[in-house]
A and B are shown apart, each in its own frame.
Chain A
Amino acid sequence: MADISKVIAAILKDVTEARASADLVSRDLARQYAADDIMKYFTVPKVQVANLQFEIKYAVESVQEIPLQSADAQSKLAQLIKGFTGNLARSLQSSISTNTSGNKLYQLMGSEYPGKEWKANVEELIGDELETVAGAVADNVNGALATAEKNIKTKLASLVPVAKRVESLYVIPNSDGQYEIISFDAKDKFDLKVGDGYDVLEEAVNDAGLVVDAIQKKTAKIETIARNEGKKTDVAQVLIGTRKINVVTSQFANGVIPDKQLFNQLLSRKDKFIPPSKAPWLVGKTLTLATRTSPPRIPGNALITQADDNTLLTKSASLVGEQFKSFKADLEKLKTTTSESKINVQVETQKLKDVDPSKVLTLQFKLDMNDFSLTDENDFTLIN
């Protein structure tokens, strides 16, 4: 079994070598003629192929699609991957920007989020994951694509902010890379902040659970209250067990000096989740946080439930899935334009005898004088 292109190439090569062997005889004769006083006046015999016809029988045994490993094909693949990488990073940036804009859970991220640095690093991450696709052999491209898609989705989980809710306290990310525990009033306006910024999400969630637990059990004790005139906020130091946690609010800024009772009233409303007051038909979307099927409990108080807002991650993962689907189709298109069909044929006479005669095909080709001529005889250069 042999590739038909190699069969034809072999025939052409052998024809050329056959002609060359005749020329070599002419060369040797030329030397002999030149040494002979009479024959040096004769024309040296030299033949040229005026016409050559070939006819060969063959049977097709298999046809394969072989991807081209040429520099051009590799360049096209690299361009496709680069284009896809840039597009996906831009789309993710745009999608996250759209979904954080106007969303109370991500108001602390700022309007510029995600920024150029985020996009550049995500683009690099996608590019790194797709390196395996560029290097994958034909049969394994789909596998490499699936792995790259899965890895990108997994890594996005840590690259996309997630907000959490513990009853009426929300743990939300801010633009400093920390988490803050805040709460909203009935009109969805910020009404209080618990503690300072948290570097670790779990610590913020634990403190939110601790505060809610103390409110429910009425064990939270307000020790001091102080007003910050500059920020127009009031700060209460709340003792929960042995922990002292600051609760900051701007609810009493309009001439009302809060006392412990007012602060306690404010805190007591945070013991249970208060659904957003805005009607969905007014704002055009459901404001309720997506709740897990089995909400995780806060340790020590099974009554306290928490919910995660995975909006950004879900939409990002969905976007990655859609774009990978499109990318896969583009790769398929590229594959068809940068691959060659390899037709494996049987040409050996003995083996052709075993082939059904109706499947034996004939290949004919002709060569004429022009196929054997020098492209430009003036190229001949005499050395010395």
Chain B
Amino acid sequence: MASILTPLQLNELLGAPMRAIVEAEAQAARATAEFIKEVGFVGTGDATNPDFGEVRMVTFSYMRRDANGTETKAVLQIPLLTLVPIPAIQVSEATIDFDLVLTSATEENRTATTGRQNDNLLLKKQALQLRGLYAKSETKKPGTNVNSSKVNMSVQIKLQQADLTHGMVQLLNLLDKGASEK
């Protein structure tokens, strides 16, 4: 693991919080799934034994009066999951706000191996690689996000839940189909 004092590439500095949000939401989803398995089913299925058994039902009886005024005992079974709130959370919007110290801006030689001719022309240019460190945010001056000479880059990223793309839906369908055919 890199030290916090080891300068990282800018894409790593920007990507880390984005990935963290996605992974955090996945962890929350796993917790929800665990809850459903434990509360909603009587079996103890896991990765090796995916059979969760019967749906955990809540059974109760009560006296029901018919049209003639005669009372009879009625028994009702309801899935427990329909009675309890399922803890499901989803990040609808996230704001990542941080400052960076740029430690180096060095040119790297890039050789294009694929792409059309025009792409190659663009890629033949030497690309710049920016490296930096997360910096401590300080009191910001009005009208500017960059707040002191200790940092020289300020970044604010607003993320929101994305709709599944056409491709992603197809991927999920394929995976689902593959699973059901086992």
| In the assembled complex, B142 has its CB within 8 A of some CB on chain A | no
Instruction: Note all chain B residues with C-beta closer than 8 A to A31.
Output: 175
User: Which parts of B9-57 form the interface with A (CB within 8 Å)?
Assistant: 9-15, 18-19, 21-23, 25-26, 29-30, 32-33, 36-37, 45, 50, 52
User: Which parts of B97-114 form the interface with A (CB within 8 Å)?
Assistant: 101-105, 107
- Whether B15 pairs with A53 at a CB distance below 8 angstroms is no
> In whole angstroms, how far apart are the Cα atoms of A14 and B161 in the complex?
21
Chain B proximity mask over A353-384: 1 for CB below 8 Å, otherwise 0: 10001000010000000000010011010100
Instruction: Note all chain A residues with C-beta closer than 8 A to B94.
Output: 47
| In the assembled complex, A290 has its CB within 8 A of some CB on chain B | no
- Whether B22 pairs with A29 at a CB distance below 8 angstroms is yes
- Whether B149 pairs with A352 at a CB distance below 8 angstroms is yes
> In whole angstroms, how far apart are the Cα atoms of A45 and B88 in the complex?
13
- Whether A348 pairs with B102 at a CB distance below 8 angstroms is yes
User: Which parts of A9-32 form the interface with B (CB within 8 Å)?
Assistant: 9-11, 13-15, 17-22, 25-27, 29-32
Q: How many inter-chain residue pairs (CB < 8 Å) link A and B?
A: 199
| In the assembled complex, A294 has its CB within 8 A of some CB on chain B | no
Main secondary structure of the interface of B (DSSP, over half): mixed
- Selected from A2, A18, A36, A377, the residue in CB contact (under 8 A) with B14 is A18
Size band of the B side of the interface?
A: 35 or more
Instruction: Note all chain A residues with C-beta closer than 8 A to B155.
Output: 52-55
| In the assembled complex, A155 has its CB within 8 A of some CB on chain B | no
- Whether A47 pairs with B162 at a CB distance below 8 angstroms is yes
- Whether B93 pairs with A50 at a CB distance below 8 angstroms is yes
Chain A proximity mask over B106-135: 1 for CB below 8 Å, otherwise 0: 010000000000000000011111101000
> In whole angstroms, how far apart are the Cα atoms of A40 and B29 in the complex?
11
| In the assembled complex, B78 has its CB within 8 A of some CB on chain A | no
- Whether B9 pairs with A30 at a CB distance below 8 angstroms is no
Q: With contacts A44-B168, A46-B164, A55-B146 known, is A34 near B176, CB below 8 A? A: yes
> In whole angstroms, how far apart are the Cα atoms of A58 and B90 in the complex?
39
- Whether A362 pairs with B144 at a CB distance below 8 angstroms is yes
B142 to chain A, nearest CB (A): 14
- Whether A50 pairs with B158 at a CB distance below 8 angstroms is yes
- Whether A6 pairs with B126 at a CB distance below 8 angstroms is yes
